[in-house]
Amino acid sequence: MNGVVKGVLLSSALLILSNQVSAKEEVKFKSYDAKISGASDHHLMNRFPGAVMFDYQFKKKSDYELIMGTINFEESDEPEETGYRVQRIETLSGDITRIVYDYPKSTSPDEILERASNDLKEQGFEELFNCAKEECGSALGWKSYLYNHLGEIDLKQQYLVANHGNTTVAFYVNELAGQPRGVFDVVVGIDNHAKVNIYFESDQYNVALNQLGSARAMVEKAISEQQVLIVQGFADESGSDEYNQALSTKRAEQVKKRLVELFAIPESKVETIGFGAINASQGSSSAKIRVQDRRVDILLKESS
């Protein structure tokens, strides 16, 4: 992950991948598997029984705006400030795969998402964010931002984000004309742009060794290629500036200590820095959002 953008306004749709599939609108639920060049299921997701592929897209070495919060409509006296606003976005860089599936009418979005979540957990993925129904905000906002051909039912939507190593998965499901449709996005980070996240409870900075398994590939790369790791600490905005700065620094230093213990990487090859609450979601009372702020990011230092 390269950075964080908070409160992104969507006065017009910000489309990550091409949504030019207008020819498919007329026959919304026909299987397009055989008609999509290069299309195939992703190895991370076992196809749900009875699901058919509606769309497939792949982009190499591109930026991806990862939704990590709700999407709601906000009005303003200034017309250009009126529109759908994403509470929190993180920018990833990597190879992006998008697969859109239509599911049998006999299934529900929550059933589909639960199965996907279990599949990912079995492969070692850690869930970073999830929301359901009204918790996700406006379904029309999700349609505007994520994919043009989605349903608009707030009470049917489900969403999760999960990460393992340099791979991040985002999966959104809603109903369209009584039939579930899901958008499955996979981003595989590009070398030094990949980032490993470690999350903390409120006011805590201790980290267990078993929390660092996802960092193994990055640490081994740093050791084998004599690169330097950067460990960045962050805090939510619940404390004072001084307290948050000290806490974020302790988090970074504790993770460094554990990396040295677990992987025997030389201390000189791990740099730490605390950023306090500089990237926190300001004013958010959501526990799901705040936990994203209480974290450490581990990444490879860019070559000079």
Tokens of 291: 């936990």
Tokens of 93: 């860089």
In this predicted structure, what is the pLDDT of residue 193? Answer: 46
In this predicted structure, what is the pLDDT of residue 6? Answer: 37
User: Could you give the CA distance from residue 56 to residue 41 in angstroms, rounded to a whole number?
Assistant: 9
Identify each DSSP E strand in the chain by its residue range: 3-10, 52-67, 71-74, 83-102, 126-132, 158-164, 167-176, 179-189, 195-199, 229-233, 270-274, 295-300
In this predicted structure, what is the pLDDT of residue 30? Answer: 43
102 CB-side CA count, 13 A: 21
Q: Residue 125 carries which DSSP code?
A: -
Fold of the 194-300 domain: 60s Ribosomal Protein L30; Chain: A; (3.30.1330)
In the chain, where the domains are located: 3-17+27-189, 194-300
Alpha-carbon torsion angle 47, 53, 54, 55, nearest 10 = 90
* Full-model pTM: 0.59
Rounded mean pLDDT for each run of 10 residues along the chain, 304 residues in total: 40 34 36 62 88 92 87 80 81 87 95 95 90 95 92 95 88 95 89 71 86 80 90 91 95 96 94 87 57 87 66
User: Could you give the CA distance from residue 229 to residue 136 in angstroms, rounded to a whole number?
Assistant: 35
In this predicted structure, what is the pLDDT of residue 258? Answer: 94
